[in-house]
Amino acid sequence: MMQRLQFIIKFSFGFAIILGCLLGAKWIVMLSEIKLPAALLGMGFLVILLFLGVVKPEWIAPAANPILKYMALFFIPAGVGVVEHIDLFQSQWVMLALLLTIVPTLILTSLSPIVNRIKFRD
């Protein structure tokens, strides 16, 4: 019983941290009217807090692990959206192929030196 209570407390604490990052990002997006998804900004906040050591990975692990375990379920709405708009995808396939190739390449090539610098700054 005590173990279960400890897990619930750890899960709630980790979930509160993740939710706090998301709500903070939603608040910033709403006030500044920037065209950036709040979930992406919140994830950025969480990564920054993890890199700075403000948040420890073991604090959010109890809440993050179930989310990651069932992450495939979060892609179902996106799949339904693709099926609903298949004609749009068929007419714009060249642009989509370019986007899906160029954007990840740019992100990986620009972020990898930054992450290496942060990771090995000793």
How far is Cα 48 from Cα 43, in angstroms, rounded to an integer?
Answer: 9
pLDDT in the model for residue 41: 92
pLDDT in the model for residue 82: 81
Answer whether 21's CB lies under 8 Å from 52's CB: no
How confident is the model over 60-72, as pLDDT tens digits? Answer: 999 999 988 988 8
How far is Cα 50 from Cα 67, in angstroms, rounded to an integer?
Answer: 18
Please give the average per-residue pLDDT across 1-24, as a whole number.
94
pTM tops 0.85 = no
DSSP line for 66-92: HHHHTGGGGGHHHHHHHHHTHHHHHHT
CB burial class (10 A; 0-12, 13-18, 19+) of residue 50?
middle
Which residue ranges make up each domain of the chain? 1-69, 76-122
pLDDT in the model for residue 122: 55
* CB neighbours of residue 60 within 10 Å: 23
Please give the average per-residue pLDDT across 12-34, as a whole number.
94
How confident is the model over 68-98, as pLDDT tens digits? Answer: 898 888 888 888 888 888 898 889 999 989 9
Across the chain, mean pLDDT equals 90
Task: Read off the DSSP letter of residue 35.
Answer: S
How confident is the model over 48-60, as pLDDT tens digits? Answer: 999 899 999 999 9
